[in-house]
A and B are shown apart, each in its own frame.
Chain A
Amino acid sequence: MIVENTQTQMRKGVLEYCILSTIAKGEIYASDIIAELKKAQLLVVEGTLYPLLTRLKNNGLLSYNWVESTSGPPRKYYVLSEEGKKVLEQLDKTWQELAFAVQTSIGDRKVK
Chain B
Amino acid sequence: MNKTIIININGIVFHIEEDAYEVLKNYMTDVKRHFMNSADSLEITTDIENRIAEMFNELLAKENKQVIVEQDVKSVIEQMGTVEDFEHAEEDTKASFSNTYYNTEGRRLFRDPDDRLVGGVCAGIANYFDIDTVWVRLAFALSLLFAGSGLILYIILWIVIPKAVTRADRMAMKGEKLNLQGFKKNFEEELGSMRDNLSNFRHDARPFVYKARDFVGDFFHHLGVFFNGAGKILLKLIGIFILLCCFGFTVFLIVAFVALLGFGSFAPFHDLPYNLLRHHHAEYIYTSAFLVAFIPLLSIILITLKGIFNTGSISRSTGTIVLVIWLFALSVLVFNITKIASDFRSSASFSETINITPAKDNTYHLKLNDLKYFTAEDSTRLNIKNLKPNIRVTDDPYDYNDYEHFQYRNVHISIEKSDVNQPVLEESYRARGNGYEDALLNARNTKYIFSQQDSILKFDYRLYPLKDDLWHDEELYITLKMPLNSKLVIDENLNNMLQNADIYNCKVINKQDKATSATFMMTDNGLQCKVDTLVTDTIIRKHLPVDSSKNLKK
Contacts and interface: CB of A to CB of B under 8 A. Distances in A.
Give the residue among A9, A43, A73, A75 with the most B Cβ atoms within 10 A: A73
Interface in B5-34: 9-12, 31
A55 B93 contact: yes
6 contacts: A30-B51, A44-B81, A47-B82, A51-B90, A71-B54, A72-B58
Interface string B70-99: 000000001111100110111111000000
Given A51-B35, A72-B53, A45 B44 contact: no
A72 B57 contact: yes
A50 B57 contact: no
B48 interface: yes
Interface range, A side? 20 to 34
A86 interface: no
B57 A47 contact: no
A49 B90 CA distance: 10
B54 A75 contact: yes
B484 to A, nearest CB: 120
Contacts of B35: 51
Contacts of B90: 48, 51-52
A60 B89 CA distance: 20
Given A44-B81, A50-B44, A51-B93, A11 B86 contact: no
A55 B56 CA distance: 26
A29 B237 CA distance: 69
Given A8-B91, A31-B51, A71 B61 contact: yes
Contact of B54 (A8, A49, A69): A69
Interface in A31-78: 31, 43-55, 58, 69, 71-76
Interface residues of B, number: 34
Given A47-B85, A51-B93, A71 B80 contact: no
A71 B58 contact: yes
Contact of A72 (B12, B80, B89, B92): B12
A93 interface: no
Given A47-B80, A48-B81, A50-B47, 5 more contacts: A51-B89, A51-B93, A55-B93, A58-B39, A72-B53
Contacts of B197: none
A91 interface: no
Contacts of A9: 91
Give the residue among A9, A11, A48, A58 with the most B Cβ atoms within 10 A: A48
Interface in B437-479: none
Nearest to A76: B47
B40 interface: yes
A87 interface: no
A53 B43 CA distance: 10
Nearest to B58: A71
A73 B53 contact: yes
Given A45-B81, A71-B58, A12 B48 contact: no
Contacts of A24: none
Interface in B352-389: none
B51 A55 contact: no
B14 to A, nearest CB: 10
Contacts of A28: none
B75 to A, nearest CB: 12
A33 to B, nearest CB: 11
Contact of B40 (A8, A12, A15, A51): A51
Contacts of A76: 47
A47 B54 contact: no
A15 B91 CA distance: 13
A44 B39 CA distance: 24
Nearest to A9: B91
A75 B46 CA distance: 11
A47 B92 CA distance: 16
Given A45-B82, A72-B12, A30 B47 contact: yes
A100 B132 CA distance: 53
Given A72-B50, A73-B53, A45 B85 contact: yes
Contacts of B93: 51, 55
Given A71-B54, A72-B12, A73-B10, A54 B86 contact: no
Nearest to B89: A48
Nearest to A4: B88
A37 to B, nearest CB: 10
A-B residue pairs, 6 tightest by C-beta:
A45-B81, A72-B54, A48-B89, A47-B81, A50-B47, A54-B40
